[in-house]
Amino acid sequence: MNLEEIIRNKEKVYFIGIKGTGMCALAELLYRAGARVSGSDTADVFYTDAILKDLRIPYFEAFDGAHINDEIPLVIHSAAYSAEGNPEMAEARRRGLPLVKYTDALGAYSALFDSSGIAGVHGKTTTTALTGTLLAAAELPAQVLAGSAVTSFGGRSTISIGNKYFVAETCEYRKHFLSFEPRRVLLTGVESDHQDFFPDYESIRGAFVEYGGRIKSGGELIYCADDAGACETAGIIQKKRNDIKYTEYGFNARGPFKIKNYKTGDGESGFELDGVPHRWTLRVPGRHTVLNSAGALALVKSIADNEGRPFDAAALGKMDAALAAFSGSKRRSEIIGTAGDILFMDDYAHHPTAIKATLAGLKEFYPGRRLVVSFMSHTYSRTAALFEDFAGAFGVAGIVFLHKIYASAREVYNGSVTGAALYEKTKTLRANVYYVDEPLDAVDALKSVLRPGDLFITMGAGDNWKLCVALFKHYRAMES
């Protein structure tokens, strides 16, 4: 596949699964670069439908081998599909057409730019969103691809300010990020996760070490000094690579991106960095968001220095305003609305560490609100491997509702763990925890416990976000 030639010659690219967040984002980038993009997906409606229609990218809402012909020099497919189960992939294979997985296509696209990959078990989506927001404010010639819709990207997953630099969220699952061609890697954190592929911490750490090893000579590894796994990974890479720069960020960092004078409460956080003469303001909750902001600033500073545009007073002012206006991305402490004096929020946190950090940040940010949590664990393998950690992750919450485990197509249930079992363990550690198998069946129970001043949050990578929406609509209707 010669992606550069396809773009230059304005050839056709067909996306199978085009409504997926990453697929839609890459389709938009290739379309704007000049390729003739089309694709297909199911008839289910996603937020990406509106983006594709706005761009006038044509797509079928069904998979049919008749959609594939020899005039298509490149077919990009979502990892969710295979030639054995998808008729379009099967037809492309029969015709001998180049059939490329999304992550490999993203890697080929990254090779066309000075590229930076943002990686880590937690925080990579928010860090990518923050980086794009700051790059736009600093007017640096970059394109950015995040793993979720971002408000400051106009509700899309991409933002484009130029064609010299490319920043993308890159995923560790099944080592997908090893297709990426980075000059810089920003590493937020490393710990055990995706147990269906990485059986232990050492195996997932090894994947991040491999990724760091792909940084081009003269490039840079930017890593969180507050995360033990990131520090350990950086240390291993440093023993192998003395031809790249190492930059720390965080409360425990050494150097210019050490966070200091951090204060938070009543809906606002402020912090400073040791080597940047400015005080920054955030209106998105959590110490972890301050960490992500520091990492994003370190990456933007690296790109600005490479561009010969050091931060001056004007740039700092614009970036500060952009950071203060930043309102997050979809399913990352996303505010659904306020009704009945209850704040309704949804968050993707699906790992014990992320749950603890998110809830602690919310309690600090909204000290007057009681936290009422709905959590739906994702994948049997992750729940079983981190069972004790999940049970102890809800410490600062006032009330917790647990649900069945949200299954993944990538694993088969073996009967070893259930949502009810997690509930039984959790109730030995704390009071005010309840179990309702199906999230939407918890509506009446939650209406009986929610009170004005509460913050209700749905958490996890499952579909319990529907519970948050249903409750918000109920309380909003009561106001009218």
User: Domain limits of the chain?
Assistant: 3-100, 113-325, 334-479
Are both 3-100 and 334-479 of the same fold? no
**Tokens matching residue 11:** 């050839």
Reported in sequence order, the residue ranges of 161-209 that DSSP labels E, i.e. its strands, are: 165-169, 184-187
Which residues, other chains included, contact 441 with Cβ-Cβ below 8 Å and sequence gap of 6+? none
Q: Roughly what angle, to the nearest 10 degrees, separates helices 352-365 and 287-306?
A: 100
Residues 422 and 394: their CA atoms lie apart, in Å, by 12
Residue 329 confidence (pLDDT): 64
pLDDT higher than threshold 70 for residue 316 = yes
Residue 330's pLDDT band, with cuts at 50, 70 and 90, is low
Residues 449 and 363: their CA atoms lie apart, in Å, by 19
Identify the CATH class of 334-479.
alpha beta
Residues 173 and 219: their CA atoms lie apart, in Å, by 24
**Tokens matching residue 58:** 């044509």
Residue 171's pLDDT band, with cuts at 50, 70 and 90, is confident
**Tokens matching residue 452:** 């004005």
Residues 36 and 14: their CA atoms lie apart, in Å, by 8
Contact between residue 401 and residue 322 where contact means Cβ atoms under 8 Å apart:
no
Residues 227 and 234: their CA atoms lie apart, in Å, by 11
Residue 411 confidence (pLDDT): 64
Choice between 268 and 180, residue whose per-residue pLDDT is larger: 180
Least confident of 63-77, 189-203, 440-454: 189-203
Residues 178 and 210: their CA atoms lie apart, in Å, by 8
Q: Could you tell me the end-to-end alpha-carbon distance of the chain, in angstroms, rounded to an integer?
A: 57
Residue 240's pLDDT band, with cuts at 50, 70 and 90, is very high
Contact between residue 185 and residue 221 where contact means Cβ atoms under 8 Å apart:
yes
Residue 232's pLDDT band, with cuts at 50, 70 and 90, is very high
Residue 87's pLDDT band, with cuts at 50, 70 and 90, is very high
Residue 209's pLDDT band, with cuts at 50, 70 and 90, is very high
Residue with tokens 């970036």: 319
Reported in sequence order, the residue ranges of 348-467 that DSSP labels E, i.e. its strands, are: 371-375, 399-402, 433-435, 455-459
Which class for 210: exposed (0-12), middle (13-18), buried (19 or more C-beta within 10 A)? middle
Which residues, other chains included, contact 480 with Cβ-Cβ below 8 Å and sequence gap of 6+? none
Residues 430 and 419: their CA atoms lie apart, in Å, by 16
Q: Is 216 left (phi over 0), alpha (psi -120 to 50) or beta?
A: beta
Burial 433-445 (b: 16+ CB within 10 A, else e): bbbbeebeebeee
Burial 182-197 (b: 16+ CB within 10 A, else e): bbbbbbbbbbbbbbbb
Superfamily for the 3-100 domain: NAD(P)-binding Rossmann-like Domain (3.40.50.720)
**113-325 — its CATH code?**
3.40.1190.10
In 3D space, the residue among 98, 210, 116, 105 whose CA is nearest the CA of residue 168 turns out to be 116
**Tokens matching residue 14:** 């067909």
Say whether pTM exceeds 0.75.
yes
Residues 230 and 252: their CA atoms lie apart, in Å, by 12
A 10 A CB-CB count for 287 gives 19
DSSP secondary structure, 34-69, as one string: T-EEEEE--S---HHHHHHHHHT--EESS--GGG--
pLDDT higher than threshold 70 for residue 160 = yes
Strand 59-60 to 220-224 pairing: unpaired
